[in-house]
């Protein structure tokens, strides 16, 4: 073991159990999103296997795991979709509920919620941001 491994605090990614836990979270999350009649339509023409893979890689980076994300930036992927603030909030809620159900510790959940607040402007369509 190196000095770094002995002294560096464990990342959120390691604390929740690494790749298999992220994968489980993404599965459960998209099950909820696709079961939500207000949101399912956005994903009607989307290759969900690739989608799950991309979100898993992105969530890994957010949680301090290895960066292997090669997809588009958030703004590039979402601006054409005309996403509303309300739908953004619903997706955020599904993610929060998913992580809570899986027993993710409160401090990690709080950090994920901070990131959700930070990236909202990239995901919600520019014309839908009034009042935010």
Site residues (vs ligand HEM, CB under 6 A): 39, 42-43, 46, 51, 54-55, 58, 71-72, 77-78, 81, 83, 87-88, 91, 116, 119, 123
Residue 46 three-state SS:
coil
Q: Closer to ligand HEM at the Cβ: 18 or 71?
A: 71
Is the Cβ of residue 7 or residue 40 nearer to ligand HEM in the bound state? 40
Question: Minimum Å distance from CB 15 to ligand HEM?
Answer: 20
Rounded to whole angstroms, the Cα distance separating 73 from 102 reads 27
Q: Could you tell me the smallest distance in angstroms from the CB atom of residue 102 to ligand HEM?
A: 17
Minimum CB separation of residue 78 from ligand HEM in Å reads 6
- From the CB of residue 65, how many other CB atoms can be counted at a distance below 10 Å? 19
Q: 69: Cβ–Cβ under 8 A, 6 or more apart, which residues? A: 54, 57, 58, 60, 61
Q: Which is nearer to ligand HEM, 4 or 130 (CB)?
A: 130
User: What is the rounded CA–CA span in Å between residue 16 and residue 108?
Assistant: 9
């Amino acid at each position: 073991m190196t000095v770094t491994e002995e002294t560096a605090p464990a990342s959120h990614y390691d604390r929740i159990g690494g790749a298999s836990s992220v994968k489980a979270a993404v599965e459960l999350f998209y099950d909820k999103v696709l079961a939500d009649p207000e949101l399912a339509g956005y994903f009607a023409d989307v290759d969900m296997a690739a989608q799950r893979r991309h979100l898993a890689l992105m969530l890994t980076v957010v949680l301090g795991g290895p960066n292997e994300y090669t997809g588009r930036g958030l703004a590039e992927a979402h601006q054409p979709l005309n996403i509303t603030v309300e739908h953004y909030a619903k997706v955020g809620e599904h993610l929060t509920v998913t992580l809570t159900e899986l027993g993710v510790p409160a401090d990690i959940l709080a950090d994920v919620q901070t990131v959700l607040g930070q990236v909202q402007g990239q995901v919600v369509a520019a014309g839908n941001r009034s009042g935010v």
